[in-house]
Amino acid sequence: MALHDNLSMLTDFYEFTMANGYLKSGIADTIAYFDMFFRKIPDGGGYAIMAGVEQLVDYLKNLSFDESDINYLRSKHCFSEEFLDYIKNFKFKCDVWAVPEGAPIFPGEPIVTVRGPVMQAQFIETMVLLTINHQSLIATKANRMVRAANGRAVMEFGSRRAQGADGAVLGARAAYIGGAVGTACVLSDQLYGTPALGTMAHSWVQMFPDEYSSFKAYAETYPDNCTLLIDTYNVLKSGLPNAIRTAKEVLEPMGQRLKGVRIDSGDIAYLSKRIRETLDAEGMEDCGIVVSNALDEFLIRDLLSQGAKINSFGIGERLITSRSEPVFGGVYKLVAIEDKEGNIVPKIKISENVEKITTPCFKQLWRLSSRRDGHYIADVITLRDEVIDDSQPYTIFDPNYTWKKQTVENFKAEPVLVQLFDGGRCVYKPRTMHEIREYCKDTTYRLWGEVTRFENPHPYYVDLSQKLWDIKNNLLQEKSM
């Protein structure tokens, strides 16, 4: 289910001006190929997580224009009536491929490829980028925090700090893909099935005459799922003793156990250790400790390295906004067109910055993995009609430092890009949120630890096939003369 039914007008104005220009120039039906890729992994990480594909599918399925859209465009006095008539009768005709949600992705790879009439393939640029950039950013950040938590649950608690409603709802969805166990955002659960979680705020405690009576009322209301917030007044002198009293006097006579206590302030490492000691001494070893506050992956790692006794983390603005690096930076570039005979003509963009030079042609992305242990070895970008024969040794090489070569054997080669649309017809097979989340967990587990570490991760190899490298190199030579 989409958050909005139709976002066709959510685009950059120049997409309309170019579309009108393509039509007036007689090239609107020229078949063009565009790739979305990104150049840099957020937070200096070793990999990112693909997310947002289902929202991209929703957008493309609903791509249409109503009378109010036509009237708005006519009011700008810069579009021909022929163009407005085209928009009025618009029908999506493109082919679209993408990396599956939850898969690790790396710089330079085509993570979305669009083939179709240039007028259409160009137009959808803004929403392709907006949708994939945002959710991939949050899924990547969530995955980093989940890895730092080292098996402890991470919950997304950031709706009130998100950049708008869509940022909250879709950010919660992306965080779940990245490994969070759930979210405080109810609408995200309703729309996408990301489990909604939460207990109480400090205001609940303050509404009652005293702390114990607030805990007692909550325990009586939710006896089978009771977690108490114990830092409204004083954690060790008031909150924890009252929580233990509630467990003994209210829950245990009902045959229930206190599920957890939560702290949202103070010296979390020190307090969690003292809380754990006290709970264990009271025979409450099964009572968990939940912490929330302005946490990120580095703070989580530091807390655990200090021996903090924490069972789960509730994380707010530093996750939902990816505060440390809030831009994913994906781009959408023309890589080929078809001539009148249907031949694919590669296109390249050249820059003084090497990382901004595009890789031309209609391509496929292959992922090579070890048959011995399943770990990923490298990714290889090939021409679309190339097939990597994994029954034979295969030589990969660094596309920038071509003398760096490696021959891989006993490996499995799998194409990564899957088709979403065929001639405008949706062929995407949706998966449940649980399936996407588990896929993310399984695929990231297959990355080597050297790639997943936070500091100075080893670069994951993304290479070009010899044929593709030759075409790119020849175009570079030709265009630079």
> Do 106 and 117 belong to one domain?
yes
> Do 307 and 353 belong to one domain?
no
Q: DSSP letter at 361?
A: S
Kindly tell me if the per-residue pLDDT of 310 is higher than 90. Answer: yes
Tell me which residue range forms the domain holding 335: 13-138+326-479
Segment 448-474 shows an average pLDDT of: 97
Q: Which residues of 387-396 are buried (b: 16+ CB within 10 A; e: fewer)?
A: ebebeeebeb
Kindly tell me if the per-residue pLDDT of 447 is higher than 80. Answer: yes
In a domain, 227, yes or no: yes
Which pLDDT score, from 0 to 100, does residue 3 have?
54
**Per-residue pLDDT reduced to its tens digit, 312-367:** 999 999 999 999 999 999 999 999 999 999 999 999 999 888 888 999 999 999 99
Kindly tell me if the per-residue pLDDT of 109 is higher than 80. Answer: yes
Kindly tell me if the per-residue pLDDT of 478 is higher than 50. Answer: yes
Last residue in a domain, options 297, 320, 343 = 320
Which pLDDT score, from 0 to 100, does residue 480 have?
74
> Do 168 and 230 belong to one domain?
yes
Which pLDDT score, from 0 to 100, does residue 170 have?
98
In a domain, 154, yes or no: yes
> Do 355 and 247 belong to one domain?
no
In a domain, 293, yes or no: yes
The pLDDT mean for the chain works out to 96
Residue 169 CA to its chain's centroid (Å): 13
Which pLDDT score, from 0 to 100, does residue 330 have?
97
Q: Helix axis angle, 125-149 relative to 433-445, nearest 10°? A: 60
Residue 165 sits at the vertex; the CA angle it makes with 160 and 169, to the nearest 5 degrees, is 85
> Do 201 and 232 belong to one domain?
yes
Which pLDDT score, from 0 to 100, does residue 479 have?
83
**Per-residue pLDDT reduced to its tens digit, 432-442:** 999 999 999 99
Q: How confident is the model at residue 165 (pLDDT cuts 50, 70, 90)?
A: very high
Segment 292-298 shows an average pLDDT of: 92
Kindly tell me if the per-residue pLDDT of 464 is higher than 60. Answer: yes
In a domain, 426, yes or no: yes
Segment 196-214 shows an average pLDDT of: 97
Which pLDDT score, from 0 to 100, does residue 1 have?
44
Segment 247-275 shows an average pLDDT of: 97
The tokens for 400 are 């920038």
- The mean-pLDDT minimum among 5-9, 23-27, 150-154, 397-401 falls in 5-9
The tokens for 284 are 């409450």
Q: How confident is the model at residue 293 (pLDDT cuts 50, 70, 90)?
A: confident
- The C-alpha atoms of residue 10 and residue 4 are separated, in whole angstroms, by 11
